[in-house]
Chains A and B, each alone.
Chain A
Amino acid sequence: MEHLIAEMKPLSPVLIVFTGALAALLAGVFSKKENSYALPYIGITTVAFAFVALLNYWGRGMIWLLQGAIRIDSFGLYISAIILIACLITFLASIGYAKRLGFEHGEYISLLLFASGGMMLLAMSADLVTLFLSLEIMSISIYALAGMARHRQKCNEAALKYFILGAFSTAFLLFGIALIYGATASTKIHAIAQVQGLKPLLVAGLGMLIVGFGFKVGAAPFHVWVPDAYEGAPATVTGFMAVAVKAAGFAALLRVILIAFPGTWAEYWWPVFWAVALLTMFLGNIIAVFQKNVKRMLAYSGIAHTGYILIGLVSLGIAGSEPYIPGMKALMNPIAGGMLFYLLAYTFMTLGAFAVISLAARDEDDLETLDDFSGLSQRKPVVALAMAVFLISMAGVPPFGGFIAKFYVFKGAIDVQGMLLASGVKEYHALALAILGIITSMFSVYYYLRVVWFMYFREPLEDRPSVAPSWGLHFVIFASSVAIVVLGILPSGFFSVASRGAEALVR
């Protein structure tokens, strides 16, 4: 038993988060209703402690735990940090918002923490059993969170759709895991890579894994739940869903795909991701163009961002395919680093934007239609400026973080293409992706700027009373916009951290 406790020590960030979740649950049950304003602070404290514990393990190399169920490495820690940041921002933004929508319960804080803990474990899992369980902890908490504002019909509907489709896709994922287990007699991610042969079974399992993770990250054609769930869920939860679920989903996807299916396998999976990325970028952007609801527009834009991140995965697949092209290996780490950097930039842009949306428009509704945004610059100039920064950054216009992120990803694809051409391989898949990515992101400026347009050049409508945002919301909006600018102007440091995070997967 002692050795078990000793072994659990490196898991302390996750354990702190789960402890905090239980504490919030109990505090919610035993505290009086008028004290419920204190609940988010439990969450904030928990996240702060967990973050300190997390930093403690950064740079210590790999730590294997519990007979290989968990691997704590730079990649897992990086993703965990993103998740904790997302969780923190969500708590801050929830101050006031949760009360207004009537879900200021201990369970809300608790479920957010449970979800975060599950996501962190998901990013650290080295075993399909742990991976599946942490995925489920995450998903079940998020299903409930999506339906948190119980009296809103849209909210019920969002939870319902998300739940049914989520459970549906989880079943596929699970079947995939079963097939992989059947083919390899192991659930250890690292052991799967050693197995040769038995291809149809294993490859069917791989396909189903792609489906399961593709669903979680919102890649087309498994993106169908995204718009409805994002639109219906409360704004703070949507932000958390958009960022943390995507980060965790990508963490699991990258770890499983890159570690369990490297080398010869890469040439099976990269064409699939190629098509998926193409479709995702195309669909996300083209449907976003004519949305009148900004929340829904951001959902489609989130889909598009998934597509851009997937470009990195395809580049990694092409670069990692056997036979290796000399020099290709050196490209892989920067590409993976670019993807991780993208996730970081995406975190701030998206959470900031959803924080703005959680400002009230009327009564209990979020600030979500274009009309709600008209003349925002006159009513709330600072908030409007921050929103403009988030949107322009999402559009990939320099000098904000979103541009740098896209630049790294597109550059990765072009570099891989250049290396292929230099070694005489006449295939243009990477180039096609990069070009479509650039075209679509060029045109995405259209729908992002449209919101800016409404904020700055329309007169405010009469029936939109202004609700004073809480200090937490103000702080979140301010801090995220600063972060986006810093990521755009001083990306080097963050990129090197991201590349170190990627070292655990590709060197």
Chain B
Amino acid sequence: MSDVMFVALAVVSTASALLLVTRRNPLYAALCMMVLFGTTALLFLKLSAPFLAAMQVLVYGGAVLMLFLFTIMLLNLHPEELGSEKGLTFKLSAGILSAVLAIFLIYAVKFSRDMTGGSFPELPAGSAAFGSAESVGEGIFDAFVLPFELVSVLIVAAVAGAIVLTKKKL
């Protein structure tokens, strides 16, 4: 059951990613992105990380996707304004290079079987130790308190940057 679900999720996410990068209209691409983020959230759930799955939906679905949709609306490109795309040869060679990258990565993974070969370790039943909000929160406020603070710095910097670049009048 678990395997079937994984395969299904993998197929859906790969398909949506492929559609994303091939759709001409960015609006369709954004919709594909939504599907991809959703399947990723489900995969996180399968990986016993409910908190992160929730965050995935909130951050990606709520923030990132919305940003993209707003921008698409702001630009308001008509289909005829989309412009031309790269030539077929360029796309083909890009595809080949990307495929080679995937093969290399898979190669690296498969040749490290002694480490990655097995299935995931069993988590003690009923415990919320691994992927729960408590356990992640504990990490955030203990060992990773500095990164957590730095995230806030990062977001302030990003907001400042975004404002200064886009505000009409300063």
| Chains A, B in direct contact (C-beta < 8 Å) | yes
Chain B residue at smallest Cβ distance from A156: B165
A105 to B166, CA, bound (A): 13
Q: Is the CB of B147 within 8 A of A4?
A: no
Does B107 interact with chain A (Cβ within 8 Å)?
yes
A70 within 8 A of B: yes
Indicate if the CB atoms of A201 and B157 lie closer than 8 Å.
Answer: no
Question: Is B160's CB within 8 Å of the partner chain A?
Answer: yes
A134 and B107 CA atoms in complex are apart in Å by 31
Q: Is A201 within 8 A of B108, CB to CB?
A: yes
Distance A182 CA – B116 CA, assembled complex (angstroms): 9
Chief secondary structure at chain A's binding surface: helix
| CB < 8 Å neighbour of B157 from A67, A108, A111, A150 | A111
Those of A164-221 within 8 Å (CB) of chain B: 175, 179, 182-183, 197-201, 203-204
Asked whether B69 is an interface residue with its Cβ less than 8 Å from the other chain, the reply is no
- Least CB separation from B163: chain A residue: A107
Cβ–Cβ < 8 Å partners of A137 in chain B? 150, 153-154, 157
Q: Cβ of A134: which chain B residues have Cβ within 8 Å of it? A: 150
A200 to B115, CA, bound (A): 11
Q: Is the CB of A111 within 8 A of B150?
A: no
Q: Are A66 and B145 in contact, with the CB atoms below 8 A?
A: yes
B150 in contact with A108 (CB, 8 Å): no
The verdict on B6 contacting chain A, using a C-beta distance below 8 Å, is no
B89 within 8 A of A: no
Q: Which of B105, B144, B162 contacts A144 (CB 8 A)?
A: B162
A133 on interface, CB distance cutoff 8 Å: yes
A371-400 contacts to B (CB < 8 Å): none
| Distance from A26 Cβ to chain B, minimum over Cβ atoms (Å) | 11
Instruction: Report the bound CA distance from A69 to B40 in whole Å.
Output: 29
Q: Is A140 an interface residue (CB 8 A)?
A: yes
A133 to B148, CA, bound (A): 9
Q: Which residues of A contact B109 (CB under 8 A)?
A: 200-201
Instruction: Determine if A144 and B116 form an interchain contact, defined as CB atoms under 8 angstroms apart.
Output: no
Asked whether A25 is an interface residue with its Cβ less than 8 Å from the other chain, the reply is yes
A137 to B151 alpha-carbon distance, docked (Å)? 8
Q: Are A110 and B153 in contact (CB-based, < 8 A)?
A: no
Check if A403 is an interface residue, CB within 8 A of chain B: no
B151 proximity list for chain A (CB < 8 A): 133
Known: A111-B164, A137-B157. A198 touches B114 (CB 8 A): yes
What B residues does A118 contact at CB under 8 A? 153, 157
Cβ–Cβ < 8 Å partners of B150 in chain A: 121, 130, 133-134, 137
- Known contacts A147-B165, A150-B165: A200-B145 contact under CB 8 Å: no
The yes or no answer to A228 lying at the interface (CB within 8 A) is no
- Given A18-B153, A66-B146, A70-B146, CB of A140 within 8 Å of CB of B107: no
Q: CB of B1 within 8 A of chain A?
A: no
Contacts of A422-440 to chain B: CB distance below 8 A = none
B154 touches A129 (CB 8 A): no
Contacts of A21 in B (CB 8 A): 156-157
Q: 1/0 contact trace for B112-127 toward A, CB 8 Å?
A: 1011100000000000
Chain A nearest CB, measured from B169 CB (Å): 11
Residues of A within 8 A of B163 (CB): 107
Using a Cβ cutoff of 8 Å, how many contacts connect chains A and B?
102
Distance A140 CA – B161 CA, assembled complex (angstroms): 8
Contacts of B108 in A (CB 8 A): 179, 200-201, 203-204
Q: How far is the CB of A204 from chain B (nearest CB, A)?
A: 4
Kindly list chain B residues whose C-beta atoms are within 8 Å of the C-beta of A121. 150
Contact between A200 and B156 (Cβ–Cβ < 8 Å)?
no
Asked if B82 CB lies within 8 Å of chain A CBs, one says: no
CB distance from A137 to the nearest CB of B (A): 5
Q: Is B143 an interface residue (CB 8 A)?
A: yes
Q: What does the 1/0 interface line of A123-141 toward B look like (CB < 8 Å)?
A: 0000001100110110011
Q: For A114, what are the chain B residues with a Cβ–Cβ distance below 8 Å? A: 153, 156-157, 160
B11 CB-CB contact with A under 8 Å: no
Question: Chain B contacts of A147 at CB under 8 A?
Answer: 165
Contact A200 B160 (CB under 8 A): no
Q: Which A residues touch B105, using CB under 8 A? A: 175, 204
Q: How far is the CA of A175 from the CA of B102 in the complex (A)?
A: 12
State whether the Cβ of B77 lies closer than 8 Å to any Cβ in chain A.
no
B140 to nearest A CB, angstroms?
Answer: 11
Known: A140-B154, A183-B115. A129 touches B161 (CB 8 A): no
B146 contact from A69, A179, A199, A203, Cβ within 8 A: A69
> How far is A18 from B115 in the complex, measured between Cα atoms in Å?
41
Nearest CB in chain B: distance from A106 CB, A: 9
B111 at the interface (CB under 8 A from A): yes
Query: Counting CB contacts under 8 A, is B75 at the interface?
Result: no
Nearest B residue to A66, CB-CB = B146
In the assembled complex, how far is the CB of residue A283 from the closest CB belonging to chain B, in whole angstroms? 20
Chain A residues whose C-beta falls within 8 Å of the C-beta of B157 in the assembled complex: 21, 110-111, 114-115, 118, 137, 140-141, 144
- At the interface, yes or no: A143 with Cβ under 8 Å from chain B? yes
Max count, chain A CB within 10 A of own CB: residue among B142, B162, B163, B170: B170
Chain A positions within 8 Å of B142 at CB level:
67
Q: Would you call A76 an interface residue if the criterion is a C-beta within 8 Å of the partner chain's C-beta atoms?
A: no
B94 within 8 A of A: no
CA distance A103 to B161 in the complex (A): 12
- Enumerate 6 A-B pairs (CB-CB under 8 Å) in ascending A order: A22-B156, A111-B161, A182-B115, A198-B112, A201-B115, A201-B116
Spell out B's residues near A (CB within 8 Å): 104-105, 107-109, 111-112, 114-116, 142-147, 150-151, 153-154, 156-158, 160-165, 170
CB-CB nearest 6 A-B residue pairs = A144-B161, A204-B108, A107-B164, A201-B112, A200-B111, A114-B157
